[in-house]
Amino acid sequence: MTDELLLECVEKYGVIVCPMYMFSLDSKKETRQVRLAFSNINPEQINDGITRLANFVRSKL
Domain segments of the chain: what residues?
3-60
What is the pTM assigned to this prediction?
0.77
Write down the pLDDT at residue 28: 67
- The per-residue pLDDT string of the chain (61 residues; one tens digit each, 9 = 90 and over) reads 778 888 999 999 999 888 777 777 776 666 677 778 888 999 999 999 999 999 999 999 9
Do 15 and 56 form a contact (C-beta atoms < 8 A)? yes
- Among 12, 7, 2, 3, residue whose Cα is nearest residue 59: 12
Could you give the C-alpha distances from 11 to 16, 27, 40, in angstroms and in order?
Answer: 9, 28, 22
